[in-house]
């Protein structure tokens, strides 16, 4: 299993620029930029549950777990019973929340996702444990020892894309930039094929 340090070493190896601190810094910056870019292009997402959140009386918004792309389910623990909350439109909830002064407080009944935060209504009147079921994507690597999708399945994609950017934007070697860009396109096509085989064919259903 490769890690982020291995990925950065491979970039320097393919560029033949070991010992160049400027290239090493560019490799770190550009590789993370490519990870963020391709996380929007495609990802191997998965469901996960998080029970670390405990509501604070009067507080309406809470940060979601890192890497959250979508909220699937929210449950609130009320007197030992897990009660599902209903997803509502965020604009509707914000209107409700600002319609009274001070805001209404009680066990929350509704939730919405606003950016990277969970928004609740009504605001909690006491501390309630929350269970979140979310859809999340692999996190970008931060430490040299980090190992996940980006440093394994997408290893070659990130290496080639980063090399293409460095050659094009940093060293102004357009011939090598084009070669790395072509390798990036081939790797991206292969990974898309893997994703399609895992997820299955696209099904379009008509509605009357």
**Residues 19-43: tens digit of each pLDDT:** 888 999 999 999 999 998 887 666 5
Average pLDDT, stretch 169-194? 92
38-77 burial, b at 16+ Cβ within 10 Å, e below that, comes to bbeebbebeeeeeeebebeeeebebebbebbeebeebbbb
Per-residue pLDDT tens digits for 132-162: 999 887 788 989 999 988 999 999 999 999 9
| 90, 11: one domain | no
**pTM recorded for the entire structure:** 0.60
Say if CB 145 and CB 108 are below 8 A apart. no
162 part of a folded domain: yes
161 part of a folded domain: yes
Confidence of residue 44 (pLDDT cuts 50, 70, 90): low
| pLDDT above 90 for 69 | no
The rounded distance, in Å, linking the Cα atoms of 32 and 13 is 18
Total domain count for the chain? 2
Q: 172: alpha, beta or left, given left = phi > 0 and alpha = psi -120 to 50?
A: left
The rounded distance, in Å, linking the Cα atoms of 143 and 59 is 33
Pairing mode, strands 110-114 and 86-87: parallel
111 part of a folded domain: yes
């Amino acid at each position: 299993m490769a890690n982020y340090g291995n990925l950065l070493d491979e970039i320097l190896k393919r560029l033949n620029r070991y010992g160049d601190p400027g290239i090493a810094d560019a490799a770190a910056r550009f590789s993370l930029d490519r990870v963020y870019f391709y996380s929007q292009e495609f990802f191997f997402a998965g469901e996960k549950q998080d029970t670390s959140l405990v509501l604070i009386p009067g507080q309406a918004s809470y940060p979601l777990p890192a890497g959250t792309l979508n909220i699937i389910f929210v449950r609130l623990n009320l007197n030992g019973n897990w009660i599902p909350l209903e997803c509502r439109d965020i604009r509707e909830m914000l209107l409700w929340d600002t319609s009274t002064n001070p805001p209404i407080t009680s066990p929350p009944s509704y939730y919405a996702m606003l950016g990277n935060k969970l928004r609740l209504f009504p605001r909690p009147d006491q501390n309630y444990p929350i269970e979140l079921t979310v859809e999340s994507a692999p996190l970008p690597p931060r430490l040299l020892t980090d190992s996940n999708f980006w440093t394994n399945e997408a290893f070659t994609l990130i290496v080639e894309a980063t090399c293409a950017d460095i050659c094009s934007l940093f060293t102004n070697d357009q011939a090598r930039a084009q070669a790395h860009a072509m390798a990036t396109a081939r790797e991206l096509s292969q990974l898309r094929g893997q994703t399609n085989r895992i997820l299955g064919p696209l099904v379009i259903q008509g509605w009357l």
